[in-house]
Structures are given as structure tokens and as C-alpha cells.
């Protein structure tokens, strides 16, 4: 029982980081109806920015988080302007967006390989590896930090979306871009805000992910698992993305703990295919025919 609870706690911790990544996919999907596969590249850049801020510049870690988030927020915006905005202006088919997204993602990965190199980098140790004991359970300090930072960031995001005027406009635009434009919303600006927010949280998630594991150029691909979580929860739904991510985190740690960690990603991707077959709109997804 203790071992099981231990796995659940680890699952919650990694699941909360997936949630930070997944909301980026979901936000963009909710308005633009396409899956922004460049998001993985943005997350990877966050992990690198955090790494260099902590090692080369020796910044305090909270500042490193903040700056990495700002950096990736801006990066996501730039990608939107260069890779998607011109397509939007021409009403291009969804397939073009997907191809453009993949192009951006491959570009980011290769620019890192070419300039920084393909090797693994390990974050400096910031927290003592000594876990905190709670009853029979022991909670890693990093796991705890992951959970806390993710929860705070997600709570801030949900506050913005649910309680502010710009959040209402984001929800309105997600429902209908045209109706929202007719209300006087600058929908172009809303799309930029959505990319910025997704990039910001993605960067923070990238730093956490890098701290937990290591940093390497293919992180972008691995973090695509958070996309699975977003599909699982229902693309376009924020609560769905969070719930899907937590479940994915728990499924993963249980697989590692009770089967083998080699099956972890296999099971995650098998889950994606399974969901797409039995319930394509996910747990709480918005109904749509196009799930590109």
C-alpha cells in the first residue's frame, strides 16, 4: 500500500508538469482548432534557457523560472507571427498549419543541435536529494517543488481565463472567432495572448522537466506526451487537459513501478490511439469533426 501511494505521489508530481505543458496545446486548439506541434520545441527551449540561466549566469532558481517563461512566451509569439499568422490571413487549410508547426519544431530542435550540441545536459543540483518524510511516505523535494510551481501557475492561468475580461474574450473567441470579432474583440491579439500564455507555462514546465530528468534536443518530442494528455482530457478544454495530465502521470509511474519503465512511453502512446478510437473528443472535449 505504501509503495502504491508512493507511486501515486510521483505520478501527481510529473502529471502536474504535463498539465502545464498540456494547457498550451489546449488553449491554442480551443481557438484555432489545430494542434500546435511546435509547442514541444518551445518547451525544450525553456529547458535550455533555464539550464543556462542557472549554470552560466548562476541566477537564483525562481528568477530562472520567470525568465525562462518570459523567453518561451516571446518565442511562442514569434512562431505564431512567422509560422501561422500568414497562413491565417490566407485562410489556409488546417493541414498547412500542421506542416508549418512541424517545420517550426524541427527547426528549433536542429538549431539547438547545431549550436549547443546533441549531448545531454544535467541541471545543477538545487535541492537536497534528501526526501521529506510524511508518515510512511517520502516525498522528493524536487517532486514537491514541481507540484507547487505547477499548481500555482495553473491556478494563475485559470484565474486569468475565468475571472478577467481578457479571459472572457478568450473563451468567447474559442466559441466563435467571428462572433467575437463582431463584438469588437481584436481576435488577432487574442490569438497572440493565447500563444504567449501557452509559451510562458510551457517554458516553466520545460525547466521543471529538465530538472527532473536532463536536457537534450529531443525533449520536444518526449513532451508530446502532454499532448496525449490534452487529447485524453479533451482537446480545447482546460480542466480536461489538467485531469488528463494527472491521469497520464499516474498511469506512467504505475507502469514504471509495476511493469517496467521501458513500457512507459509505449503505454502512453497506445493510450492515445485507444482514446482516438473509442472517444475522440476525450473526457471533456469540445465536439468537433476536425481533430488535426
Partner 1 sequence: MLKVENLQVYYGGIHALRGVNINVEQGQIVSIIGANGAGKSTFLNALSGIIRPKEGKISFKGKSLPQIPYKIVAAGISQVPEGRLVFANLTVKDNLMMGAYLRKDKHGIEKDLGKVFELFPRMAERVDQPAGTLSGGEQQMLAIGRGLMSNPDLILLDEPSLGLAPLLVKTIFEIIKDIKKLNKTILLVEQNAYKALSIADKAYVLEQGRIVKTGTGSELIKDPSIQEAYLGKTLKSYRSND
Binding site for partner 1 (CB under 8 A): 165, 168-169, 171-172, 174-176, 178-187
SS3 assignment, position 88: helix
Nearer Cβ to partner 1 (58/178): 178
What one-character DSSP code corresponds to residue 237?
Answer: -
* CA proximity to 149, closest of 194, 198, 203: 203
Nearer to partner 1, 128 or 162 (CB): 162
* Closest CB to partner 1 among residues 205, 243: 243
CB of 171 to partner 1, least distance (A): 6
Q: Are 223 and 204 in contact (CB under 8 A)?
A: no
Q: Which is nearer to partner 1, 222 or 281 (CB)?
A: 281
CB of 201 closer than 8 Å to CB of 132: no
The smaller minimum CB distance to partner 1, of residues 113 and 281, is found at 281
φ, ψ at 138 (rounded to 5°) = -125, 130
Rounded distance, CA 265 to CA 256, Å? 10
Nearer to partner 1, 116 or 192 (CB): 192
User: Least distance in Å: CB of 99 to partner 1?
Assistant: 23
In our burial notation (b when 16+ CB lie closer than 10 A, e otherwise), range 62-101 reads eebbbbbbebbbebbbebbeebbbebeeeeeeeeebeebb
What distance lies between CA 71 and its chain's CA centroid? 15
Write down how long the chain is. Answer: 292
Of 148 and 179, nearer to partner 1 (C-beta) is 179
CB of 159 or CB of 258, closer to partner 1: 159
Residue 134, strand partner residues: 137
- 42, three cell numbers: 518551445
CB of 235 to partner 1, least distance (A): 15
* Residue 239 CB, nearest approach to partner 1 (Å): 13
Q: How far is the CB of 190 from partner 1 (least distance, A)?
A: 10
Whether the CB-CB separation of 98 and 35 falls below 8 Å is answered with yes
CB 200 within 8 A of CB 72: yes
The Cα–Cα gap between 34 and 291 comes to 7
- Smallest distance from partner 1 to CB 244, Å: 19
> Which three three-digit cell numbers place residue 169?
474574450
Provide the minimum distance between the beta carbon of 194 and partner 1 in the complex, in angstroms, as a whole number. Answer: 16
- Taking the complex as a whole, how short is the minimal distance between the CB of residue 193 and partner 1, in angstroms? 14
Amino acid at each position: 500500500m505504501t509503495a502504491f501511494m508512493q507511486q501515486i505521489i510521483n505520478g501527481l508530481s510529473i502529471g502536474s508538469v504535463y498539465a502545464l505543458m498540456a494547457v498550451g496545446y489546449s488553449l491554442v486548439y480551443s481557438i484555432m482548432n489545430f494542434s500546435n506541434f511546435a509547442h514541444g520545441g518551445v518547451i525544450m527551449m525553456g529547458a535550455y534557457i533555464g539550464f543556462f540561466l542557472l549554470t552560466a549566469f548562476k541566477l537564483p532558481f525562481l528568477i530562472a523560472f520567470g525568465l525562462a517563461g518570459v523567453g518561451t512566451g516571446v518565442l511562442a509569439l514569434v512562431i505564431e507571427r512567422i509560422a501561422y499568422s500568414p497562413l491565417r490571413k490566407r485562410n489556409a487549410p488546417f493541414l498547412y498549419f500542421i506542416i508549418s508547426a512541424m517545420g517550426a519544431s524541427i527547426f528549433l530542435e536542429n538549431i539547438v543541435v547545431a549550436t549547443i550540441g546533441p549531448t545531454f545536459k544535467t541541471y545543477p543540483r538545487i535541492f537536497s536529494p534528501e526526501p521529506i518524510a510524511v508518515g510512511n511516505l517520502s516525498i522528493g523535494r524536487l517532486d514537491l517543488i514541481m507540484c507547487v510551481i505547477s499548481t500555482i501557475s495553473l491556478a494563475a492561468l485559470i484565474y486569468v481565463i475565468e475571472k478577467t475580461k481578457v479571459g472572457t474574450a478568450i473563451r468567447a473567441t474559442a466559441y466563435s472567432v467571428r462572433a467575437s470579432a463582431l463584438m469588437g474583440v481584436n481576435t488577432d491579439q487574442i490569438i497572440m495572448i493565447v500563444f504567449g500564455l501557452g509559451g510562458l507555462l510551457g517554458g516553466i514546465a520545460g525547466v521543471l522537466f529538465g530538472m527532473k530528468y536532463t536536457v537534450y534536443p529531443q525533449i520536444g518530442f518526449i513532451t508530446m506526451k502532454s499532448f496525449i494528455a490534452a487529447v485524453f482530457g479533451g482537446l480545447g478544454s482546460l480542466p480536461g487537459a489538467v485531469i488528463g495530465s494527472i491521469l497520464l502521470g499516474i498511469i506512467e509511474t504505475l507502469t514504471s513501478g509495476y511493469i517496467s519503465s521501458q513500457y512507459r512511453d509505449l503505454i502512453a502512446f497506445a493510450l492515445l490511439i485507444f482514446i482516438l478510437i473509442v472517444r475522440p473528443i476525450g473526457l471533456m472535449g469540445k465536439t468537433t469533426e476536425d481533430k488535426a
